[in-house]
Amino acid sequence: MRIRLCLAALSLAGGAGLATLSAPTASAATCSDIDVVAARGTFEPGTLGVIVGDPVYSALQKKLTGKNLSSYAVDYPADLSLTSAAQGNADLVNHVNAQAAACPNQRFILVGYSQGANVVDNSIGISSDGAVVGSPIVATIPAALEPRVAAVLLFGNPIRALGKSVTGTYQSRTIDYCAKGDPVCENGGDDVLAHLGYTADADAAAAFAAGKV
C-alpha cells in the first residue's frame, strides 16, 4: 500500500510539474501508417501522459518523418482500483483489433508508463498480476496481429520489481526502461523521484522504435 500511495503522489506531482508541455491530439485513428497506442501512469494527466506518452509521441513524429502517425490514449481509470489495469488491458486490445480490421496496412507502437506498462504487458501476454497496480490478463493481441506491432516502449514497468520482463515473440521489439532506484520497477529501490524522470528517455525510445518500423 505504501508503494501504491507513493505512486499516486508521484504521478500527481509529475503532472503538476509538467502540465505546460504541449500535447498531441489523441484520436481513435484513421488509417495512418503507424498508430501510437499509449497507456498513461496512475493519475497521470496529459493527452497520452505528460511524463511519457506525450513526449514519446512528439519524438516519434520527428524520427518517423516519412510516416503518417496517429495516436490513441488507452481509455481506462489509471487509478488505484483493483480493476483499473484490467480495464486498460481490455481497451487496448479492443482498439488494436478494431484498427487492424479497419486498416489492413496499419502498424502499431505500444507505449506504457508505470501502471500503463502493466496494461501493455498484459496485452502482449505477460501477466502483471501481483505487481504494483497490476492485474491478471483479460485479453491479448491475437497472434495474427503480432507482426503488426512494430515496437513496445515501456517505462517504470512494475513487473520488473517481481523479476519479470517481456519475453517471447515481442522481446526483440521491446525496450523497457527502469531508472536506478525507482521503487516501482526496482525491487528495493528507494529513490521515489526516479519514477518521474522518464521524459529524458523519450528520444532514445523513439529512435529504438524507428529502427523497428
Q: Whose grid coordinates read 522504435?
A: 209
DSSP-assigned beta bridge partners for residue 38: 73, 111
Active site residue 95: no
Active site residue 182: yes
Buried b (16+ CB within 10 A) or exposed e, 122-145: bbbbbbbeebbbbbebebbbeeeb
Active site residue 191: no
Measured over the CA atoms of residue 90, residue 92, residue 98 and residue 104, the dihedral's sign is negative
End-to-end CA distance of the chain: 39
Spot the catalytic one: 11, 32, 195, 201: 195
Spot the catalytic one: 11, 32, 114, 128: 114
Catalytic residue IDs: 114, 182, 195
